[in-house]
Chain A
């Protein structure tokens, strides 16, 4: 995978080390492991609005709501509640 968003490896019982790339969904922050030679459609897809990889669940939603914007909303709401 080009420009992976993460990297995972496991040391299996036989001493074998298996490795995989991962990406983190730009809309919900979910980590998706990229299995070698898997169908790209099974991984999710690329949001053409924020141009970032997203997970299958967010592909089904069909709208762009970047996670960074969600964080800002949560924090703004939190600050507003504290001030009240």
Chain B
């Protein structure tokens, strides 16, 4: 079991951060099993915030299950232990569209002031778990009625 970190920050090859809209349009981070080597994976740490001009607006954050990954931009997650081998999951960041969201599959939802940053950490045994089946996983999305800037997210997950 290896632990990985993925962020939609301006890392090399991470694509361009997408503007926030009133409706969910894209995904900051997507983590899904590949079609050939599906792996059960667990999200245990989520950090979210915004990096636009500060203002008092609310931003809604959502993690939902997907049955198909978004198309871009693929990025290799960083292993927290450099001795671990590369992740076998499909990880995408800064997608302008999201994949196929399973109806009613929202597992994490929080409204946060645009000026605030937020972190959620799961205790062992209480992680968000995705089954080892093809193309299933999670996507982190946000929306805001007033804020139109970009947003930041970091997810730490365990691949089993």
> Chain B residues in contact with chain A, CB under 8 A?
38, 40, 54, 56, 106-108, 110, 112-113, 115-123, 125-129, 131-134, 136
Contact = CB atoms under 8 A, between A and B. Distances in A.
Contacts of A12: 113, 115-116
B126 A6 contact: yes
Given A31-B128, A75-B133, A13 B122 contact: no
Given A13-B56, A75-B133, A22 B120 contact: yes
B65 to A, nearest CB: 9
Given A7-B120, A8-B110, 8 more contacts: A7-B121, A10-B112, A10-B118, A11-B118, A31-B120, A67-B129, A71-B131, A74-B133
B117 A75 contact: no
Chain A interface, DSSP helix/strand/loop, else mixed: mixed
A5 B125 contact: yes
A46 interface: no
B127 A24 contact: yes
Contacts of A5: 122-123, 125-126
Nearest to A70: B131
A13 B133 contact: no
A75 B113 CA distance: 38
24 contacts: A5-B122, A6-B126, A8-B121, A9-B118, A10-B112, A10-B118, A10-B119, A11-B118, A12-B115, A12-B116, A22-B122, A24-B122, A24-B128, A29-B107, A29-B128, A29-B129, A30-B107, A71-B129, A74-B133, A75-B131, A77-B133, A78-B38, A78-B131, A78-B133
